[in-house]
C-alpha cells in the first residue's frame, strides 16, 4: 500500500487497534443475528511526508451510504461554533449578496444557513442524500454529489466563490489529490478556502485513539498537507486552533498568486508538530502503550462496578464510541444501552458490540449508576444536559484522555 499524499510505500505502523466494524453502520433489529463484518483498524505513517492514514481502504460508498444519519444540527455546541465562524468570515471577506459561498460536505445546511440569513448566495455539495434533502427542505441549495476536480471545473464556469469551506471532510476523502485540485480549480483568485480537521498533534498528545475509525482515511497535520497544496498552486496563510473534536485546526488556504500575507501561526504550528513527529519511534510506541493502558483501566473499572452490582449505560452513539467499545471488547454484557439525542438512531444497535440505542428519556425510568460518556469532546455540554439525572446520583465516566469520573 502506498501513501495517499506522496505515493511512497507505507511501512510504519502508527497505531494498531485490531479489527473493527464500520462505525457508522448502525445495525437494525432484524439484522442483529447476522455477523457484522470486521476490518483491520490500523493507522500507518508515511516515512517520507509524515501523513498518517489507515492501512485498509474501504470504498466511500460503503462508508457513507445514502442512509448516513449524522445530522450536524443535533449538537448545540456545533451550531454556536458555526454561527461564530460565519460572522467572522462575512466580516473578513466583506461578503455581500453578490458573492457566493460554497461548502463541501455541507450536511444538513447547518453552516450555510448563517450565510443565507445574511442574504449571501450559498451552495452546498453533499453526497449523503438523507442529510442533503434536509438542507434543501430548509432552503439551502445543495448538490447531492461527491466533490472533486470534474464537478469543480463545471461549477467554475459560473461565479467563482470568494469563500469555500471544507469542515471535517479532508480526513474522509480517499483521493485527497482530486479533492484539493477541485478547490484549486474553483476558488476565486483572491478567495479563501478554510478547512477544519482534528489535529494529529492532539491525537498523539491526548491519546485520542478513538478518533481513528474507517470513515477517517487520514489523520492530518500542516506538515503533511503543505506539499499537497503546493502541487496545486495553493498555500496556507493562517492557522487557528479550535477546541472542537478534542482539538482541531482551522487553516486558511489561498492561491499562491494571491496577495494574502502568511501569518506567523503557520510556521509556529509546523514547529510544534515537529516535536510530535508521527514517524518518531518513541512517539508511536508510547501511543500504543498508553492506548492499551486505557483499555485495561476502563475494563477493570467497569468490571469492578458490575461486581458491586452497579448498572452501566453509555451516552452518545457516536463513531468514536464504536472504536472505543470494540477495541476494549465491551458489549451488552457490561453496558445495558446507549442513549442518543438523534431519533434516527433509536431502535438500532451499535455495530460489533450490539448495544441497543435508545431515547434519552429512558433514563427517567431506568436510571443507571454509571454513565460512560462516549463523545468525551462534548463533556461539558452533556453534563449540563444531564444535570437532573446527575442530581439523582448518576456518575459520569469517560475514557479519553484517561479513564476518570468527571
Ligand atoms: Zn507520504
pLDDT for the residue numbered 79 = 87
- Partnered with residue 338 across adjacent β-strands are 314, 357
Contacts of residue 132, defined as CB under 8 A and 6 or more positions apart, other chains included, come to 106, 108, 124, 126, 142, 143, 144
Q: What is the percent of the chain with per-residue pLDDT over 70, rounded to a whole number?
A: 97
Scored b (16 or more CB within 10 A) or e, 307-340 reads eeeeebbbbbbbbbbbbbbbbbebeeebbbbbbb
pLDDT for the residue numbered 69 = 59
- Residue 311 above 80 pLDDT? yes
| C-alpha 49 – ligand 1 centre gap (Å) | 4
Quick one: average pLDDT of 316-334?
95
| C-alpha 106 – ligand 1 centre gap (Å) | 28
| C-alpha 14 – ligand 1 centre gap (Å) | 13
pLDDT for the residue numbered 342 = 86
Helix (H, G, I), strand (E, B) or coil at 220: strand
- Could you tell me the pLDDT band of residue 387, with boundaries at 50, 70 and 90? very high
| C-alpha 202 – ligand 1 centre gap (Å) | 20
- Could you tell me the pLDDT band of residue 74, with boundaries at 50, 70 and 90? low
| Distance set, CA 317 to CA 70, 196, 353, 355, 360 (Å) | 10, 23, 12, 9, 11
| C-alpha 167 – ligand 1 centre gap (Å) | 22
- Residue 81 above 80 pLDDT? yes
pLDDT tens-digit series, residues 272-300: 999 999 999 999 999 999 999 999 999 99
pLDDT for the residue numbered 344 = 86
| C-alpha 286 – ligand 1 centre gap (Å) | 22
pLDDT tens-digit series, residues 37-65: 899 999 999 999 999 999 988 877 777 66
Q: Are strands 52-54 and 218-219 parallel, antiparallel or unpaired?
A: antiparallel
| C-alpha 53 – ligand 1 centre gap (Å) | 9
Instruction: Give the mean pLDDT of the chain.
Output: 94
pLDDT for the residue numbered 62 = 79
Residue in 338, 299, 305, 300 with CA at minimum distance from that of residue 322 = 338
Residue given cell 475509525 in the structure block: 213
pLDDT for the residue numbered 262 = 97
- Residue 71 above 70 pLDDT? no
pLDDT tens-digit series, residues 142-184: 999 999 999 999 999 999 999 999 998 999 999 999 999 999 9
pLDDT for the residue numbered 349 = 96
Residue 102: phi, psi to the nearest 5? Answer: -115, 130
- Residue 70 above 70 pLDDT? no
pLDDT tens-digit series, residues 212-270: 999 999 999 999 999 999 999 999 999 999 988 889 999 999 999 999 999 999 999 99
pLDDT for the residue numbered 73 = 62
Quick one: average pLDDT of 363-367?
93
Q: What is the percent of the chain with per-residue pLDDT over 90, rounded to a whole number?
A: 84
Which helix (H) or strand (E) segment holds residue 237: the answer is strand 234-242
| C-alpha 62 – ligand 1 centre gap (Å) | 25
- Residue 72 above 70 pLDDT? no
Helix (H, G, I), strand (E, B) or coil at 321: helix
- Could you tell me the pLDDT band of residue 89, with boundaries at 50, 70 and 90? very high
| C-alpha 248 – ligand 1 centre gap (Å) | 21
| C-alpha 46 – ligand 1 centre gap (Å) | 5
User: What cell numbers appear for 350 in the block?
Assistant: 451499535
User: What is the rounded (10 degree) CA torsion for 92, 97, 100, 102?
Assistant: 80
The DSSP result for 11-32, as a single string, is -EEEEEEEEE--TT-PBPGGGT
pLDDT for the residue numbered 67 = 62
| C-alpha 315 – ligand 1 centre gap (Å) | 37
pLDDT tens-digit series, residues 108-149: 999 999 999 999 999 999 988 888 999 999 999 999 999 999
Is the model more confident about 342 or about 306?
306
Scored b (16 or more CB within 10 A) or e, 133-168 reads ebbbeeebebbbebbbbebbeebeeeebbbbbbbbb
- Residue 66 above 90 pLDDT? no
Amino acid at each position: 500500500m502506498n501513501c495517499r499524499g506522496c505515493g511512497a510505500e507505507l511501512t510504519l505502523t502508527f497505531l494498531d487497534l485490531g479489527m473493527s466494524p464500520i462505525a457508522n453502520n448502525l445495525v437494525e433489529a432484524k439484522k442483529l443475528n447476522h455477523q457484522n463484518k470486521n476490518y483491520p483498524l490500523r493507522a500507518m505513517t508515511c516515512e517520507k511526508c509524515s501523513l498518517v492514514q489507515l492501512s485498509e481502504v474501504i470504498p466511500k460508498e460503503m462508508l457513507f451510504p445514502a442512509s448516513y444519519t449524522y445530522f450536524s444540527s443535533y449538537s448545540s455546541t456545533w451550531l454556536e461554533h458555526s454561527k461564530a465562524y460565519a460572522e467572522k468570515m462575512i466580516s473578513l471577506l466583506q461578503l455581500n449578496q453578490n458573492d457566493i459561498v460554497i461548502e463541501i460536505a455541507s450536511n444538513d445546511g447547518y453552516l450555510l444557513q448563517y450565510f443565507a440569513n445574511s442574504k449571501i448566495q450559498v451552495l452546498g455539495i453533499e453526497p449523503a442524500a438523507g442529510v442533503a434533502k434536509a438542507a434543501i427542505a430548509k432552503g439551502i441549495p445543495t448538490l447531492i454529489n461527491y466533490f472533486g476536480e470534474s464537478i469543480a471545473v463545471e461549477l467554475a464556469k459560473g461565479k467563482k466563490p470568494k469563500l469555500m469551506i471544507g469542515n471535517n471532510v479532508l480526513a474522509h476523502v480517499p483521493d485527497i489529490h482530486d479533492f484539493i485540485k477541485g478547490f484549486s480549480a474553483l476558488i476565486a483568485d483572491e478567495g479563501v478556502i478554510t478547512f477544519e480537521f482534528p489535529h494529529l498533534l492532539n491525537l498523539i498528545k491526548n491519546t485520542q485513539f478513538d478518533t481513528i475509525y474507517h470513515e477517517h482515511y487520514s489523520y492530518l497535520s500542516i506538515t503533511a498537507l503543505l506539499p499537497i497544496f503546493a502541487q496545486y498552486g495553493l498555500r496556507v496563510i493562517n492557522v487557528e486552533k479550535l477546541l472542537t473534536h478534542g482539538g482541531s485546526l482551522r487553516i486558511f488556504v489561498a492561491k499562491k498568486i494571491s496577495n494574502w500575507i502568511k501569518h506567523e501561526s503557520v510556521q509556529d504550528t509546523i514547529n510544534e508538530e515537529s516535536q510530535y513527529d508521527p514517524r518518531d519511534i518513541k512517539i508511536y510506541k508510547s501511543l500504543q502503550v498508553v492506548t492499551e493502558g486505557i483499555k485495561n483501566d476502563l475494563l477493570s473499572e467497569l468490571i469492578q462496578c458490575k461486581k458491586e452490582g452497579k448498572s452501566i449505560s453509555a451516552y452518545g452513539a457516536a463513531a468514536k464510541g464504536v472504536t472505543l467499545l470494540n477495541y476494549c471488547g465491551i458489549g451488552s454484557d457490561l453496558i445495558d444501552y446507549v442513549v442518543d439525542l438523534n431519533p434516527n438512531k433509536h431502535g438500532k444497535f451499535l455495530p460489533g458490540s450490539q448495544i441497543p440505542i435508545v431515547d434519552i428519556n429512558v433514563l427517567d425510568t431506568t436510571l443507571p449508576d454509571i454513565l460512560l460518556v462516549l463523545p468525551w469532546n462534548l463533556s461539558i455540554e452533556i453534563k449540563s444536559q444531564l444535570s437532573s439525572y446527575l442530581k439523582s446520583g448518576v456518575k459520569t465516566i469517560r475514557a479519553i484522555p484517561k479513564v476518570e469520573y468527571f
